[in-house]
Amino acid sequence: MPEWKTIIIVALAGLALSASPGPSMLYVLSRSIGQSHRAGLVSAAGLAVGGFVHVVAAALGLAALFIWLPVVFTGLKLAGALYLCYLGIDMILDKPAAGGGEVKKVQPLSLRQIFYQGILVEVLNPKTLLFFVAFLPQFVNPERGSVSMQMLILGALVPLTAIPSDLIVALTGGGIAARLARSPTASQALNWLGGLILILLGLNLFLN
């Protein structure tokens, strides 16, 4: 079982990840604006399921890696720290284009199609994938029990903490969420916040 401090840190990082504009946010926003609030909510449910696909895959893969190749596991944590710093710097230096994120027009689909499409969007979301590969391993401590169970607990926080922001995006539709996605200033502020968090977490891994 992870420490409560670790759970809080991962939850806060998950909130920062979900609040920054990306493929998942723009997908929910597109469905909400282009079809209906209900379609936006269903797309958010699909994203949540897709997030848990990442959780299970990461838990099984990391546990196997630790059992068979503990040296590689340690190397992965150090490489993850370097990559976290790189991602943070890249996020801070990124300049949002005028008009911010583009909310594309969407073809109306059935709610079932939207749900499955949401799963696929999240499974293929590079931001979520990198979070599981580069961020979570540094918080797994084999001395505190099963590696796979720790990854399941910590990994589950990612889709769970994304639910509130996805619901807000789905329900506000063309209001606050749309302005946030289209505003270069808001996007840059979120990039700075997320970038600084990633850099600090990467440095923390080296210092410990």
For tokens 């790189």, the residue is: 86
pLDDT in tens, 151-200: 889 989 988 988 888 888 888 865 555 565 566 776 677 678 767 876 87
Cα distance between residue 77 and residue 204, in whole Å:
12
User: Can you give the residue range of the structural domain that contains 119?
Assistant: 4-207
Q: State how far the Cα of 28 lies from the Cα of 167, in Å rounded to an integer.
A: 9
Q: Is the pLDDT higher at 21 or at 123?
A: 123
Q: Find out whether 134 and 58 touch, Cβ atoms under 8 Å.
A: no
- pLDDT averaged over every residue in the chain: 77
Count of domains observed in the chain: 1
Q: What does the pLDDT look like over 41-65, one tens digit per residue?
A: 999 999 999 999 988 888 887 656 6
* Range ranked top by mean pLDDT from 12-26, 46-60, 75-89, 136-150: 46-60
Phi then psi dihedrals of residue 144, to 5 deg = -100, 20
In angstroms, the CA 142 to CA 50 distance is 27
